[in-house]
Amino acid sequence: MKYYIYIFFLILFINSCKKFDKKEQRPAFLKIDKINLTTNSNQGTNSSKIVDAWVFIDDELIGTFNLPSVIPITNVGERKIEIFAGIKRNGISVDRKKYPFYKSYTTTKLLKSDSTYVLEPTVTYKENLFIWVEDFEDPSFKLNPYNSDTTIQIVSSPASQLFEGDAGVIYLNSAQYQCEMRTSEADFNDMPTNLSTPAYMELDYKCNFPLEIGVLAQPLAGEAYENSPIITLNPTKGVWNKTYLYLPDASNFYANSPEFDVYFRASNPDNISGIEIYLDNIKVIFFN
């Protein structure tokens, strides 16, 4: 009897070894350094800050990858590859989103084990978008001072201080307490007020002083506007940065508001001199 039990376990052990000895299939690899944006003449700059690739293989999400990245794909063979661009919402590292206004990049490749495929994705804006642009290339800019000791200025030089082309700059000295610039756009009245319906402001900026950005809302027709802040941008230490601000974070508090606008405000209660806040490529975007 013991002999048969021994034979049984020996067979079981051999079969188990065969399973473990089975050669595992090696993955293929996708190498993505960055995702580029292409725009047309009505969409403003192609400036972007795409930080993540949301990668789908045959319509299944395999992960979100910080760029640049080398991504292992275990399911080799001919595969549909779809990549969505990801951003930091409100500039927050832990609040990373698939940007809803960019189309995805799609390709098909025959993936082979131990092979690396370099992808250079380019995305574009979707068609059904409202896109408002202020890039300060026109002397009649779209921001108006409100309760301000100064206004925004358009500068064309020195080029080393600018992002691309002209920029708008807010200067404050020790005798100037505040600068608040506001839009006056009837189209902004259609701004979404539901947190699940996307609307973003994109902008490039460089500043040595905090800048508050938010939504202006009129609670009821005929009443004064109220400021609803979204973010205060911190100084950038002499370099240009880009951010994507989620407008419903502010507009959702005014679901019944008949009118909306946006504002930029720098307050100087400590009488600081030499304040410089550069703005460029401001976009307000939501679905039509």
Together in a domain, 135 and 204: yes
Could you report the per-residue pLDDT of 113-135, keeping only the tens digit for each? 999 999 999 999 999 999 999 99
Whether 86 maps to a domain, the answer reads yes
- Per residue, the 3-state secondary structure of the chain, as one string, reads CHHHHHHHHHHHHHHHHHHHHCCCCCCEEEEECCCEEECCCCCCCCCCCCCEEEEEECCEEEEEEECCEEEEECCCEEEEEEEEEEEEECCCCCCEEECCCECCEEEEEEECCCCEEEECCEEEECCCEEEEEECCCCCCCCCEECCCCCCEEEECCCHHHCCCCCEEEEEECCCCCEEEEECCCHHHHHCCCCCCCCEEEEEEEEECCCEEEEEEEECCCCCCCEEEEEEEECCCCCCCEEEEEECHHHHHHHCCCCEEEEEEEEECCCCCCCEEEEEEEEEEEEEC
Together in a domain, 35 and 166: no
Together in a domain, 110 and 251: no
pLDDT band at 222 (very low <50, low <70, confident <90, very high): confident
Together in a domain, 145 and 273: yes
Strands 36-38 and 122-124: parallel
Could you report the per-residue pLDDT of 240-276, keeping only the tens digit for each? 999 999 999 999 999 999 999 999 999 999 999 999 9
Of the candidates 250, 243, 139, the one whose C-alpha atom is nearest the C-alpha of residue 188 is 250
| 106 pLDDT above the threshold of 80 | yes
pLDDT band at 15 (very low <50, low <70, confident <90, very high): low
- Within 10 A of 278 (CB to CB), how many other CB atoms are there? 21
The average confidence (pLDDT) of the chain is: 93
Task: Identify the pLDDT of residue 139.
Answer: 86
Together in a domain, 119 and 139: no
| 227 pLDDT above the threshold of 80 | yes
Whether 268 maps to a domain, the answer reads yes
Task: Identify the pLDDT of residue 1.
Answer: 46
The mean pLDDT of 185-209, rounded to a whole number, is: 97
**Domains: count for the chain:** 2
Whether 2 maps to a domain, the answer reads no
Of 80, 107, 124, at which residue does a domain stop?
A: 124
CATH code at position 71:
2.60.40
Q: Is the pTM of this model over 0.95?
A: no
| 109 pLDDT above the threshold of 70 | yes
Whether 160 maps to a domain, the answer reads yes
Whether 271 maps to a domain, the answer reads yes
Which domain covers residue 116, as residue numbers?
A: 25-124
Whether 143 maps to a domain, the answer reads yes
Of 101, 124, 147, at which residue does a domain stop?
A: 124
Could you report the per-residue pLDDT of 16-59, keeping only the tens digit for each? 544 444 567 799 999 999 999 999 999 999 999 999 999 999 99
The mean pLDDT of 204-222, rounded to a whole number, is: 95
Could you report the per-residue pLDDT of 141-188, keeping only the tens digit for each? 999 999 999 999 999 999 999 999 999 999 999 999 999 999 999 999
Together in a domain, 267 and 149: yes
Together in a domain, 166 and 116: no
Of 104, 124, 144, at which residue does a domain stop?
A: 124
Together in a domain, 143 and 226: yes
Together in a domain, 139 and 274: yes
Task: Identify the pLDDT of residue 4.
Answer: 47
Together in a domain, 258 and 151: yes
Together in a domain, 190 and 93: no
Task: Identify the pLDDT of residue 16.
Answer: 52
CATH code at position 235:
2.60.120.260
Whether 72 maps to a domain, the answer reads yes
Bigger pLDDT: 13 or 120?
120
Together in a domain, 159 and 279: yes
Whether 16 maps to a domain, the answer reads no
Report the alpha-carbon distance of residue 58 to residue 109 in Å, rounded. Answer: 11
Task: Identify the pLDDT of residue 221.
Answer: 84
Task: Identify the pLDDT of residue 3.
Answer: 46
